[in-house]
Structures are given as structure tokens and as C-alpha cells.
Structure 1
Amino acid sequence: MSKIQKIIIAIASLVIILIPLSYSLQFAYSLELPLSNKQEVWGQMGDFIGGTINPILSFFTILLLIQSLNYQYNANESLKKQLKNSEKIENLRTFENLFFNLVTSQSNLFDKFNIYVSDTQNQTKLLVRAEAVLRIEESIEYLIDKKISIECVANFYEEIDQQYGIFDILRAFYIIVKLVTEKLNDESGFTVDDRQFYYERLINLTNFSHLRLICTAMQFEKASIVEYLKNNHEFLEICKKLDLNFTPYEFR
């Protein structure tokens, strides 16, 4: 019971006591009238007390009812917030399971990335992961140094992509970014800070050579997923914060 409710009940109790008491004092002591044996006199007294007390008690009853409704409303709002928080926590738990599974999947996909090159003895050599990325970067830099046009360099990248599936690696990264954007939306109770936390987490959990390959793909790929990533301003803010450059090659 609240303090206000206690005060209302105390006042109502005083009213119930004071009104009959004041009536008795007026007639028994001030007017010095004896107790009446007439039924109609007692009826008049009852009418007076009832007519005086009932409106006051009705008013207090309405106050208590309003107070109870306010408490019920606040309790319902609190319950709604608890349910919403529980739903948010459950959504976040489901999201994180999917998020980390996809991060693991993209890491496994990059572990399988390899290219074949010819050495100085014209022997075919297999390069995997970081070595493969480094060779691609060196080849592109070599073409740029030779003043090869951007169109020709893009064609060179496209040949490598078609042969070794760089686009699949980029797409796996894009899927995770899109997952963060869509699942941690404002309508579900999440904020920009929540999304950017997981964008940063994704980048930090991605191998550095893996990120360099993604940046290369971002510069030369023309697919819609590239436009999606480049137009995701919340994601780009984190990329800028972490010095992740999607145009790593400068054509002179």
C-alpha cells in the first residue's frame, strides 16, 4: 500500500469518526438535549450522517480507484519492458549464435583459398591463404607500376576471381555485415552502437590477409553486394576507424 493510499484511508477514517462525534457534541453538549426516544429523530440523524459522509467517502473511493489504476498501468508498463528486454536478450542470443557460426564459416572458406603460380623454373607452385593474397597484391602493383590501365587491371582481377572464387569470400563477408544490419535494427530495440560493435567485432575476428583480399575485391568487383557495403554508412564509419581502405590501389 502506497503512502498516498494510507493518507486517503486515514482521512476517510477521521471523517467517519468526526462527523458523528461533531453531531453528538452539538446536540448533547452545546444544546444540552437528552437522547431522544423518537425513531424519526434517529432517522434524521442517520440521514444527516449518511448525506455528509457518503459523498466524501465516494470521493475518496474514486481517488483510491484512480490510484489503483495508475499502479496497475505502471505495473503493466513495467511488465511490457521486461518482456521486451527478454525478447531483446533472446534475439541477441540467437543472433550471436548465427554471427559466430558465419564468422567461422568465412574463416574456413578463406583457409581453402589458394592459387597456382609458375616459379622461375616454370614449375607450378601452390600458394595458400596469406601467400596467395600477397602474390595477387604484388601482381596488381606490378601492373600499376607498368602504367597498365585500370580496365586491364580489372580484367586481370576478374580472371583470377573466376578461376579461384574471390567473390565467394567477399560474399561471405557481406552476408555477415547484412546480418548485423538487419537483425540488430532499431525496431528490435537495438542501436547504432550495438550494430557498430559487431561490425568492429567482425573485422577484428577476420584474418588480416583475408581483409586485404576483401578490400581488393571491393575495388574491382562490380556486384550489387559491393554497392551495399559501400553505402552502409554505419559500417563505413567502423572501417574508417580501423583504417580499412576499400580502394587500396592507386592508379597513377
Structure 2
Amino acid sequence: MSKVLIVAAIIMTSIVVIAYLSIFAGPIAANQEKWGQFGDYIGGVLNPFIAFLALIALLHTIKIQKIELKKTITHFENESKKADLNKIIESLHRRIKTSIEKQIVLSDDMTVSLDKAISGGEDVLQNEMLATYFSYHKRLGHDANLTINSIIKELEQLQIYIERYETLTEELKEKSPFPRFYKSEFNKLTRVLNKNELINDKLYQFYSYLEHDLE
């Protein structure tokens, strides 16, 4: 924009000078009065035009400043949104981890966490500990039932906030490792829950996208 204004000023000055010389042709170098008249002519014609160009430059500067200010405000708003989403995601992550590591009394001789039960194998036919855990899940009000239901609910909530975080980072054209990390954290858990028909395929696929990437 500044280059355009400079070129316009040069062109206008050239036109004014050429117009003066073409109309009032003659030597003026030795005539002080003519120099004064020439200066008055140039100032009278160019000053309003230059003032107009200065006004345009000022308005353009104000416009640019408004755009930059808006970008800055939007940037800080998005950073604030990211920080808020991070806090929620981290909180849900901790709550799920606490739930799967919670020790549940299944019988007089068996107290186990879901995490430990899964570590013994994902097939309930071959993993007695996991089979027992899931059998107690069917008992309404039992700790195993309440724990798994809480985990499923929080996995669903975590999916929502991770998707929001991914959408925000895509809009900002940023790449973040956090969504991938949190998905991988519960990949095995959701696979086991899905095999036992405790969560739907959509929720399982969300956390198991890493498997599909490797296929």
C-alpha cells in the first residue's frame, strides 16, 4: 500500500509540474517572483492531494492494526481454549487411570484391579481373573459394576474433549502429540471392553486408530 501511495504522489507531482511548464512556458530561474508563483501553484495543488494520500495511509494503518489486534486476540483465545481442554483431558485421564487401578474385592481370596485383571490376558476363557471381574460387573451396585460403568462414561467424555482439541489444533494448523498419547493409553482397555460387548464399536475404534494405522 505504501508503494502505491508513493507512486501516486510522484505521478501527481510530475503531472502538476508538466502542466505548469506547458501552460506558463518560459525561463523562471532568474525571476524570484515567478519562483514564488510557481511554489504557490505547486503547494496549492499538491498539498490537498498529499493530505488526501496521508489520510488514506492513516486509514490503511488503522485497518492493519485492527486486523493484527483481532489475530492476537483470537490467538490468545485459542490458546486459552487449548489450555482448558488440556486440563479437562488430563483430569479425565487421571480419573480413568485411578478407576482401572482401583482394587476391587471379588471374593474372600481375590482382590484385584481391572488393570491387573487385563494384564493376565484379554480372553475371558483363558483369564479366570478377568472373567471373574466381568461376572461381578453384572451385579448392580457392586464395586466392579460401578467402576466399569464409571470408566465407560469417562472414556466417552474423554473422546468428546479429545475430538474438540483435535478440531481446534487443525483450525490452527498445529500438530500435537497429546491426542495420540491419550488414545494409546486406553487402546488395550477399550479393546477388552469391546470384546466383552461393554462398549460400542465407535468408541473402541476411536481409541484403536493406532492399530489401523499399522495395518
Q: Under a length normalisation based on structure 2, what TM-score does the superposition of the two structures give?
A: 0.65
- CA contact 2:101–2:114 (8 Å) conserved in 1: yes
- Do the aligned partners of residues 184 and 13 (structure 1) sit closer, same or farther apart at CA in structure 2, a change above 3 Å counting? same
- CA drift of 1:190 comes to 4.3
Q: What amino acid sits opposite 1:76 in the alignment?
A: K
**Whole-angstrom distance in 2 between the partners of 1:134 and 1:74:** 59
Say whether the 8 Å CA contact 1:110–1:129 is kept in structure 2. yes
For residues 82-231 of structure 1, the aligned pairs below 5 Å read 82-114=72-104, 116=106, 124-134=109-119, 137-141=122-126, 159-163=135-139, 164-165=144-145, 166-186=148-168, 189-190=171-172, 193-194=175-176, 197-204=177-184, 206=185, 211-221=187-197, 226-230=200-204
Structure 2: runs of 5 or more not aligned: none
Distance 1:20 1:158 in 2: 99
Q: Does 1:74 align with 2:45?
A: no
CA distance in 1, matches of 2:91, 2:153: 15
More relative contact order, 1 or 2 (CA 8 Å, 6+ apart): 1
Judged with a 3 Å threshold, the aligned counterparts in structure 2 of structure 1 residues 222 and 104 are, in CA distance, closer, same or farther, namely: closer
Larger radius of gyration: 1
Give the counterpart letter for 2:96 in structure 1.
Q
TM-score if structure 1 supplies the norm length? 0.57
Could you say what the CA RMSD is over the residues aligned between the two structures, in angstroms? 4.7
How many Å separate the matches in 2 of 1:60 and 1:214?
71
Residue in structure 1 matched with residue 212 of structure 2 by the alignment: 240
Unaligned runs of 5+ in 1: 36-41, 118-122, 144-154, 244-252
Does structure 1 conserve the Cα–Cα contact (< 8 Å) formed by 2:102 and 2:114?
yes
Q: Provide the secondary structure at the position in 2 that maps to 1:112.
A: coil
Q: For 1:192 and 1:140, locate their aligned partners in 2 and report how far apart those are by CA, in whole Å.
A: 45
Give the letter aligned to residue 87 of structure 2. Answer: N
- Over residues 96-148 of structure 1, what are the superposed CA-to-partner deviations in whole Å (9 max), with x where a residue is unaligned? 1222111111111112153636xxxxx732233443224573533479xxxxx
Contact 1:115 1:127 in 2 (8 A): yes
Matches within 5 A, 1:44-63: 49=40, 53-63=43-53
CA 1:183–1:68: 2 relative to 1, 3 Å = same
Alpha-carbon distance in structure 2 between the residues aligned to 1:81 and 1:18: 46
**CA-CA distance at 1:179 after TM superposition:** 1.0
CA distance in 1, matches of 2:96, 2:202: 18
Aligned residues: 205
CA distance in 2: counterparts of 1:125 and 1:231, whole angstroms: 32
Cα separation, partners in 2 of 1:177 and 1:242, compared to 1, 3 Å = farther
AA aligned to 2:77 is E
Distance 2:179 2:14 in 1: 66
Q: Secondary structure at 2:73's aligned position in 1?
A: helix
Relative distance call for 1:216 and 1:203 in structure 2 (3 A) is same
Paired residue type of 1:214: T
Distance in 1 between residues matched to 2:172 and 2:28, nearest whole Å: 73
In 2, Cα distance between equivalents of 1:192 and 1:114: 42
Is the contact made by 1:116 and 1:125 (CA closer than 8 Å) also made in structure 2? yes
